[in-house]
Chains A and B, each alone.
Chain A
């Protein structure tokens, strides 16, 4: 039996999750022009929010998922409201915002570890209930199929939103030039707050998806975040579709990389790819303009 179909399936699932993180990260970067490293822990919060509802309060799966998404979106919004917005007002440099987001990341991650302990936890009810399907000799679980279609759904939704709604157009305007956007009467702070809510909700979904697919632990945020960031840089910073392509490209490189080298090197592969891109193609595969 050939291993290639399985590698393709694994890559597609990993790529789906990375692209969720990349999407939110890109939206936030586009409008605020700083690398929000706290974005990773927002995904963790989503996962743990669902975990708390599902396993600690015995709610049904749908309520738990919705709760996880709302908690993630809330924390994203709160970080913007309490930390990043005041800092933008005082004209802090993007580096200062980056360090602040790193601090927020560290603090929230530790708080999660204090509340839920550092142990690895899974969201799926039981392994026995997981249905498994076979496609061309590769194995895919029902959870993974749901993840894949959710991602497609979110992607389409975002593309439509960016193209046809007022909010989408305002986001684009702010990404191009915040000052001009302000002059033509766009309430930039309101739009940025919405971007944080949307981006964080999507990150929350990523965290929940990981929880159902494999499991959650407090330190997972950094890994998710970094994969998202690598995807964004491969695809071109600020380009929404580029981020998605970057995510899938990264997932394929990682999964096919460990075909020949052993699996533990996955992270190292991702960062070697990042460095190669930063050195030779710093604007990503699509972004040509200077």
Chain B
């Protein structure tokens, strides 16, 4: 039972990441491969707030959103100059720069040693120490993010985003400032990833830079593409599949470290296969 709760918590956290990346990648059509950076910013914001400044977890979520908001605004401005494949490469670069900062700004992040001893969330003297309570909390936040995403993509704002994806020039003719729309959704999505990071740090109670490298961004990308571009349900389905995959592999007898590598093999090959035969993903509505 405890094990199932653990998996459900992981699924909740990663579905926040997938749903938020889908806003940029699926609905707006921007191939951003830097989501792990924002995930990490949230995680480090929470870790440092709690361990160094003894700030409440729920306040630390907002610290994370604030910091991620500012940095993603800056990143969004840089990326707004690029299109297509160059956009992807530049976003790659941003992920590596953020990763380098996590790794090397040792006074703040303790570098490769990581930050241990991050407390579980606490409100009015109630501590979410029990994993079941933690699951309920994180699931509520994941649901909120899911509903917010659904609301965004169904609003007039979301329709403009999808129009930008289909033909940016035309929507510009109608007088929409498309750069502003792209920037806004980029920041919103990054802040959602930061919330996921806050929960991750608090759940595992230990973080180090290796969780937030480029490979993680590729993993989140694979979830979104597998589940389906421009489909929030698809993002959830993709998360469930790829989070459970190593567990299934372990269950059939692969050792733990091999199972983790096998997952990489599977999602790598899935990306290749999907791109060849179904570029919109399983439930997707938009082809890259």
On A, residues with C-beta under 8 Å from B are: 34-35, 83, 86-87, 90, 92-100, 102-111, 113-114, 222, 226, 229-230, 233, 262, 264-265, 267-268, 271-272, 274-275, 278-279, 282
Provide the bound-state CA to CA distance between A78 and B54, in Å.
55
B90 touches A278 (CB 8 A): yes
B103 on the A face (CB < 8 A): yes
Please give the distance in Å from B175's CB to the nearest CB on chain A.
27
Q: How far is the CB of A234 from chain B (nearest CB, A)?
A: 12
Instruction: A93-B288, A268-B97 are known; give 14 further A-B pairs, CB within 8 A.
Output: A83-B272, A92-B276, A94-B85, A98-B88, A102-B33, A104-B271, A106-B265, A107-B267, A110-B268, A113-B261, A114-B265, A233-B89, A264-B100, A275-B78
Chain B residues with Cβ below 8 Å from A96 are 275, 279, 287-288
- Residue B16, interface by CB 8 Å: no
**Closest CB of chain B to A27's CB: distance in Å?**
17
Hey, which bits of chain B sit against chain A, CB under 8 A?
A: 31, 33, 78, 81-82, 84-86, 88-90, 92-94, 96-97, 100-101, 103-104, 214-215, 218, 221-222, 225, 258, 261-272, 275-276, 279, 287-288
Q: Establish whether residues B272 and A268, one from each chain, have CB atoms under 8 Å apart when the complex forms.
A: no
Contact partners of A34 in chain B: CB under 8 A:
85
CB distance from A145 to the nearest CB of B (A): 31
Q: CA–CA, A102 to B269, complex, Å?
A: 10
Provide the bound-state CA to CA distance between A83 and B264, in Å. 18
Whether A99 touches B261, Cβ cut-off 8 Å, given contacts A94-B85, A268-B96, A274-B93, is no
Docked CA distance A73–B267 (Å):
24
User: What are 30 of the A-B contact pairs (CB < 8 Å)?
Assistant: A35-B89, A92-B276, A93-B288, A94-B84, A95-B84, A95-B88, A96-B275, A98-B31, A99-B271, A100-B271, A103-B269, A104-B272, A106-B265, A106-B271, A108-B268, A110-B263, A110-B264, A110-B265, A111-B265, A222-B214, A226-B92, A233-B89, A262-B104, A268-B97, A268-B104, A271-B96, A271-B100, A272-B97, A278-B89, A279-B81
Closest to B254 in A: A114
Min Cβ gap A133→B in Å is: 33
State whether A278 and B81 are in contact (beta carbons under 8 Å apart), knowing that A233-B89, A262-B104 are contacts in the complex. yes
Q: Tell whether, in the assembled complex, residue A226 and residue B96 are in contact, meaning their CB atoms are under 8 Å apart.
A: yes
Q: Which residue of A lies closest to B101 (CB)?
A: A268
Instruction: Tell me the nearest residue of chain B to A95, going by C-beta.
Output: B288
Compute how far the CA of A109 lies from the CA of B219 in the bound complex, rounded to whole angstroms: 14
Min Cβ gap A229→B in Å is: 6
Q: CB-nearest residue of chain A relative to B270? A: A103
Q: B271–A102 contact, CB under 8 A?
A: yes
Identity of the chain B residue whose Cβ is nearest the Cβ of A272 in the assembled complex? B97
When the two chains form the complex, which single residue of B101, B258, B268 contacts A106, counting CB atoms closer than 8 Å? B268
User: Smallest Cβ distance from A200 to chain B, in angstroms?
Assistant: 17
Instruction: Report the minimum CB–CB distance from B72 to chain A (whole Å).
Output: 15
Contact check, A282 vs B86: say whether CB atoms are below 8 A apart. yes
Of the candidates A87, A103, A109, A268, the one having the most CB atoms from chain B within 10 angstroms of its own CB is A103
B275 near A107 with CB under 8 A, answer no
Known contacts A96-B275, A229-B89, A264-B104: A106-B97 contact under CB 8 Å: no
Q: Do B272 and A103 touch (CB < 8 A)?
A: yes
CA separation between A86 and B273, bound complex, in Å? Answer: 11
Verify A99–B85 contact, CB threshold 8 A.
no
Residues from chain A with Cβ under 8 Å of B275 in the complex: 87, 92, 96-97, 99-100, 103
Bound-state CA distance A104–B222 (Å) is 12
A222 to B218, CA, bound (A): 12
Let me know if A87 and B271 touch, CB within 8 A.
no
User: Taking the nearest CB of chain A, how far is it from the CB of B101, in angstroms?
Assistant: 7
On chain A, the residues within 8 Å of B214 by CB distance are 222
List residues of chain A with CB within 8 A of the CB of B258.
114
The distance in angstroms between the C-alpha atoms of A109 and B261, with both chains bound, is: 9
Known: A35-B85, A95-B31, A264-B103. A275 touches B276 (CB 8 A): no
C-alpha gap A93/B29 in the complex (Å): 13
A87 and B276 within 8 A (CB): yes
Chain A residue nearest to B267 (CB atoms) is A106
Nearest B residue to A34, CB-CB: B85
Are the C-beta atoms of B272 and A271 separated by less than 8 Å? no
Nearest 7 CB-CB pairings of A with B: A103-B271, A107-B268, A106-B268, A110-B264, A268-B100, A100-B275, A271-B93
Give, as a whole number of angstroms, the nearest-CB distance from B185 to chain A.
18
**Cα distance A109–B263 in the bound complex, in angstroms:** 12
Docked Cα-Cα span, A282 to B85, in Å, equals: 13
B193 to chain A, nearest CB (A): 19
User: Which residues of chain B are near A83, meaning CB under 8 Å?
Assistant: 272, 276
Minimum CB–CB distance for B58 against chain A, Å: 32
B-chain residues with CB within 8 Å of residue A222 when the two chains form the complex: 214-215
Most chain A beta-carbon neighbours within 10 Å: one of B88, B261, B265:
B261
- Residues of B with C-beta under 8 A to A105: 268
Interface centre among A87, A94, A105, A107 (most CB of B within 10 A): A107
A12–chain B nearest beta-carbon distance, Å: 24
Q: Is the CB of A103 within 8 A of B222?
A: yes
- Complex CA distance for A91 and B51, rounded to whole angstroms: 53
A271 to B279, CA, bound (A): 29
CA distance A278 to B92 in the complex (A): 13
B93 with A275: CB separation less than 8 A: yes
Q: Is the CB of A99 within 8 A of B225?
A: yes
Shortest distance in angstroms between B141's beta carbon and chain A's nearest beta carbon? 29
